[in-house]
Structure 1
Amino acid sequence: MGRLNETRIGAVIAEAFAVRASTAMASTLHAEHGAAVLIGLESDVTVIVPEPGGAVVRGRVVVVPPDRWHAASSPGPTIGLLVDPEEMPRVASYARLRGGACPLEGRLLARVEAAVAAHRASLSRPEVLDGLAREVAAWLARESPPRAPDRRVARVLEALRAPGADRRLAIARAGISEAHLQALFVRDVGLPIRTFQLWRRLLVALAAFARLDATGAAHTAGFADLAHFSRTCRRMLGYSPTELRSGLME
């Protein structure tokens, strides 16, 4: 379990999810390969989706499916939970089945709000953030049937989790044509193989950023330089690496 900032713990990076408690939220337009659960502690979360005609979704808790372009904001304290679709596929399925960003309502909303209220005084503690994230993810997972990718796609996913993995070798070992594999991968995972590998590299860099400076973290994950790391982080998460460390809840 990684801590994003040792002097002001307001974020946790685990294998299956990342969670961040901040004093406010204002991301730029981005698409992340993760199911996002955005929780406003004192005010609604606003999610803008650049679909034809545009769409604005507001709610105290808003769920955004993986790989959807959006920008999110909330003027007050906010918790952002990002769930790995491969590690927690039922959470991702729950988000995808709703067809787009949507506010939680009814029983699920009441559960999340009660859990956040119960831990409000200690949300900067990593063990509290970790426990809250797992609890919320478990509630969403129960609302969705299991969904497994094609076995050949699953093998490629496992091979590409390491940032230095050889993409061409992983594709060759799948036993089908590259075009067929690419089509299956996009169907089951939601994004192309090359983009998935870049996402995994970003996650490795952010985990390394907990103990290294930004340049060292970029090189650890195989980015050419800090600028490439920063551009990728903003495009896929809506923030620069430095912005992710700022505004954390004390």
Structure 2
Amino acid sequence: MGRLNESRMGAVITEAFAVRASTATESTLHVQHGAALLVGLDGDVTVTEPGRASVRGRVVVVPAHQPHAVASPGPTLGLLYDPELASHVASYAHGRGGAFPLEGRLAARLESALTAHRASLSQPEVLAGLAHEYADWLVKESPRSEPAPRIARVLKALRTPDADWRLAAARTRLSPAHLRALFVRDVGMPIRTFQLWRRLLVAVAASARLDATSAAHLAGFADLAHFSRTCRRMLGYSPTALRSGLLS
């Protein structure tokens, strides 16, 4: 579990989820491998998607692999769930084919929980607790969607960013082409993109204790520029913005 710059923002990164509390949020267009849940404390969150009308609400859900940008002028909680380790959240988010505002009793429950912990959002244990609680509530809203067993084994092997996917493929006894097709079907992205996503998570988590260049090298990026480009493309922020919390 990593923590980023507690004095300016609260953020926690684990295998199953990442959660961030910020005073304001404004991201560029990006595509992330994760289902997002965005909760505004004092006002609406706006999500913009290419070719679609903007979506606004106090709670907005964004499915994995959906190009989008986020704007929220006030305090905001952003949660990102791993589609494999929190498959029920990913299934729920995918249900409408794009971002959508959450309404009704469930939305009120999420808002109420956030408001109750408003004074403690810089504490990693509080953020992690909210992420677990939100995921548990969503279990009742959507069935689990698990990848095929052989793809699940490959996913487990590839959670180490520098793992050789060909070795994992050989153990499945599938041809490389067949494996790549099944991987995209069950995971939603090519194998190499998944590995790049895992490398990015390692680098962002390492930023809690290292400078950006050292974090990039630790995660296997060629240089800081590659890390920065990947971070903007997949998360909508530069590594500097994520680390400092200057998100307004």
Q: Secondary structure at the match of 1:36?
A: strand
Alignment match of 1:191 (pick from 189, 201, 216): 189
Alignment match of 2:160 (pick from 148, 159, 162): 162
Structure 2 CA distance, aligned partners of 1:7 and 1:208?
Answer: 17
Corresponding residue of 2:209: 211
Q: Is the 8 A contact 1:161 1:200 kept in 2?
A: yes
Counterpart of 1:33, as a letter, is H
Corresponding residue of 2:20: 20
Q: Is the 8 A contact 2:7 2:122 kept in 1?
A: no
Q: Report the TM-score, using the length of structure 1 for normalisation.
A: 0.95
Deviation at 1:150, TM superposition (A): 0.9
Corresponding residue of 1:226: 224
Corresponding residue of 1:153: 151
Deviations 1:192-236 (CA, angstroms, capped at 9, x unpaired): 111000000000111111111100100000000000001000000
Superposition RMSD on alpha carbons, in Å?
A: 1.3
Corresponding residue of 1:174: 172
Q: Secondary structure at the match of 1:39?
A: strand
Q: Is the 8 A contact 2:5 2:244 kept in 1?
A: no
Counterpart of 1:217, as a letter, is A
Counterpart of 2:16, as a letter, is A
Alignment match of 2:135 (pick from 137, 141, 155): 137
Counterpart of 1:17, as a letter, is F
Deviation at 1:168, TM superposition (A): 1.8
Structure 2 CA distance, aligned partners of 1:167 and 1:122?
Answer: 41
Deviations 1:13-70 (CA, angstroms, capped at 9, x unpaired): 122111111110000000000000011111100001113xx32110000000001100
Deviation at 1:165, TM superposition (A): 0.2
Structure 2 CA distance, aligned partners of 1:248 and 1:140?
Answer: 30
Q: Secondary structure at the match of 1:157?
A: helix
Q: Is the 8 A contact 2:11 2:127 kept in 1?
A: yes
Residue 47 (1) aligns with residue 36 (2):
no
Structure 2 CA distance, aligned partners of 1:239 and 1:248?
Answer: 10
Corresponding residue of 1:29: 29
Q: Secondary structure at the match of 1:195?
A: helix
Counterpart of 2:35, as a letter, is A
- Gap runs ≥5 in structure 2: none
Counterpart of 2:12, as a letter, is V
Structure 1 CA distance, aligned partners of 2:120 and 2:12?
Answer: 14
Q: Runs in 1 of length 4+ with deviation above 3 angstroms? A: 6-9
Deviation at 1:180, TM superposition (A): 1.3
Q: Secondary structure at the match of 1:82?
A: strand
Q: Secondary structure at the match of 2:220?
A: coil
Corresponding residue of 1:96: 94
Corresponding residue of 1:125: 123
Deviations 1:107-132 (CA, angstroms, capped at 9, x unpaired): 11010011011111111111111111
Q: Is the 8 A contact 1:46 1:74 kept in 2?
A: yes
Q: Is the 8 A contact 1:182 1:193 kept in 2?
A: yes
Q: Is the 8 A contact 2:30 2:69 kept in 1?
A: yes
Q: Secondary structure at the match of 1:73?
A: strand
Q: Secondary structure at the match of 1:47?
A: strand
- Gap runs ≥5 in structure 1: none
Residue 5 (1) aligns with residue 9 (2):
no
